[in-house]
Structure formats: C-alpha cells, structure tokens
Amino acid sequence: MADDASALYIGLISGTSADSIDAALVRFDQGQPQLLASHAHPWPVELRHRILGLAQSEGAVDLDAFGRLDVEIGQHFASAALQLLEHSGMPAQSVRAIGSHGQTLRHRPTGTLPFTLQLGDPSVIAERCGIEVVADFRRADIAAGGQGAPLLPALHAMLLARPGRTRVVLNLGGIANITVLAADGSVRGFDTGPANGLLDAWCLRHRGEPFDRDGSFAAAGHADPELLDALLADPYFSLAPPKSTGREHFHLDWLALHPRLAALHPAEVQATLLELTARSVAAAIEQFAPSTQDVLACGGGVHNGALMRRLAELLSPCLLCSTADHGIDPDFLEATAFAWLARQRLLQLPGNLPAVTGARGPRVLGAIYSAPGGDSA
C-alpha cells in the first residue's frame, strides 16, 4: 500500500482500568503523528463491572456469554469511533484505518502456552464505521517469544527521545510501565506493576467512586509499613525485564491474601496502595535506568495529585513532569499509538521493539478487517 500523507487514522483503546474507551484522530506528517481530535467514551456502569469482574476472575466463563461480550464491546468501540468523527466534523471516508487495541481480559505471556486476549470484535467495528480496522496487535509478538507488551516504546522514542539525555516515559494506566530512552539511543521498557488498577478498585469498593479523585482518599490515611512490605515481596517486582503483567495478577483478591488488610482502615489501605505504585516505579527506574534525568508521565495517573507528588519525592533529583509539558496529551498517547500501529501494519512495517518485548525479532503486528465492500491491504 502506498502511504497517503493526507490520510487520517483512528486509534482506540480501553486500558486495564476500563475507565473509558479512548479514541484519537491522528494525521501523520512525514511519519510524525499529530493528534487532531480526541474523545473519551464512557463504558456503561454495568458493562464496566462485568469487564472488570472477568479480568480479575479465575472462574469459568460461559462460552455464549463470552461471545456476546466480544460483540458488545466491539459495538461500544465502534460508537467511540463514530462519536469521535462526529465531534471532529470529519467524514468516515477521510479515515484510512482504525487501529483497535480492544479490551484486555487476560495477559499471560509466560509459561508453556503463552497468550494474550483482547475483546472487541473488529468486524463489528468495521461494519458499523465503514472503515478498515487493524486489530489483534499483541499476539504476533508473543508467538515470536515476546511479552506482547509494552508496545508504546517505539512511539515514545519517536516523540520524546533526546540525544545525549536519558529519559523515562512513565505510563500510569491501570498498570504502570516505563520506557527508558537512553542517552546512547537505545530503548528499553517493561511493566513495573500496578498503578491505577488497584487504587480504582479499592476506591470503588469503599467509596462507590470509580477512581480516587486527586488522591484525596489516599491522602486521608497513612501507608502501613507491614502491608507495604508484604505487597512489595510479590515475586513480580524482582523479575528482570522483559516482563509484563495485568489485572489478572494485581487485583483485589491478590490484595486480600494479606492478613494485615483486615486490621486497617480503608484509607490506610488506599494510602498503602498509592505508596506501592510509587515505590515500585521508583525502584524500577533506580535499578534499570539510574542515569535518568527526566521522567515524563502520561496516563490517567497524572491527574492523581497525591501520586504525582509522592513520585516526585522518590524520583528526586530527576525532574518529573507530564508529557503535556512537551506538547503531548497524556490522556491520549496510548490511543495515538494504536493509530500509529495501524499505519505500520498497512505499510508492512514492524510495530514491536524486540529489545523491549523479548521477541526473536521485529514483527509486523495486527490483522486487517476490511470495511464493507473494501479490499484488504
């Protein structure tokens, strides 16, 4: 496919927090993405609860219910794309392709039969939007021996690397991950552990609110050293990269395994979970990127003032800021990345970085789902 420099792409993703479907309308200028419009499409409350319940449950799932959920999620992803187009005033015909990450329900990249599972039927999205869809971005990397995650470091390097300066891009989604942009031009990245996922789940359980606004719930308590030490003893934190994780590991049932939990006030637990995120992030940067000069944060966690203040304390003398300070919307960087990955697929270019994921080599990521009446690339 010859690249059309004027073509638009849409990126769609719902992260591990499942707080919304993020949609980004992106134009590429000499390969550089420009965010033209964005839209955060809320999940219906009942559907979000079902998604989160399945994402952290080890129980059996009825196959009929699973199939219906795949279609239902796909319908909401399509609605997110259509509302983005409506808000932006752009016709569907102007969009070359949609890159849809889908909603992750399981991510098991290790073991004898590694796999990753994202729902949101791409055929439903293509049919409803009348636009070609690229989806299923992670499995090719896993088939090549990689983690299938994180996939954003290549875009982070394109947008934020600076020669002679070591930077870390910190994504504070449901799970936290870092991209190390080294002064010598090399790139590494991995999931450090939980970020908003546990904080949001505990807040919903005890306050009935989907997230801890500005960290006020955590600020009402003090971190408990005994519980914190027990949580940090989880083997995941001591694993060497490449590594990735998700809500299927760090969830409230995992938290409930610790007897100390019952003795604490909910605000103390929330404060401990915030400290867990901050400590695990800071420890990962100290161990694997000790020469870091800047930490640039993105994702929903940038809006948690208490978390950002604690991270700034632990990361000092590194400068912590938002990617917004560098002209990049922290809320839609991930969605922009999946627009970029869709373009990479149509251009038959790799989307992974083997040094990040551990794959045996570069791979073209994603499968193409044709628009009605269209031909696949």
Give the position of tokens 């009605």.
372
Give the position of tokens 């934190």.
237
Kindly list the domain boundaries of the chain, sorted by start residue. 8-148+332-369, 153-326
**What local confidence, expressed as pLDDT, does residue 369 receive?**
98
* CATH number assigned to the domain covering 8-148+332-369: 3.30.420.40
**What local confidence, expressed as pLDDT, does residue 60 receive?**
75
* Amino acid sitting at position 36: L
Structural tokens at position 373: 């009446």
Let me know if 79 is exposed, middle or buried by CB neighbors in 10 A (0-12, 13-18, 19+).
middle
Does 8-148+332-369 match 153-326 in CATH topology?
Answer: yes
**What local confidence, expressed as pLDDT, does residue 257 receive?**
95
How many of the other CB atoms lie within 10 Å of CB of 73?
Answer: 26
Q: What are the residue ranges of helices labelled H in the chain?
A: 45-55, 63-88, 122-129, 139-143, 153-160, 196-207, 216-219, 225-232, 252-255, 266-288, 305-315, 333-346, 354-357
Fold (topology level) of 153-326: Nucleotidyltransferase; domain 5 (3.30.420)
Residues of the chain where predicted confidence (pLDDT) is lower than 70: 1-6, 59, 374-377
Of 308, 46, 358, give the one whose Cα is nearest residue 195: 308
* Residues 191-248 pLDDT 10s: 999 999 999 999 999 999 999 999 999 999 999 999 999 999 999 999 999 999 999 9
**What local confidence, expressed as pLDDT, does residue 377 receive?**
42
Task: Give the three-class secondary structure for 8.
Answer: strand
Q: Beta strand pairing status for 8-14 and 95-108? A: parallel
**What local confidence, expressed as pLDDT, does residue 275 receive?**
98
pTM of model > 0.85: yes
How many of the other CB atoms lie within 10 Å of CB of 120?
Answer: 27
**What local confidence, expressed as pLDDT, does residue 6 receive?**
67
Cis-peptide, bond into residue 150, ω within 30° of zero: yes
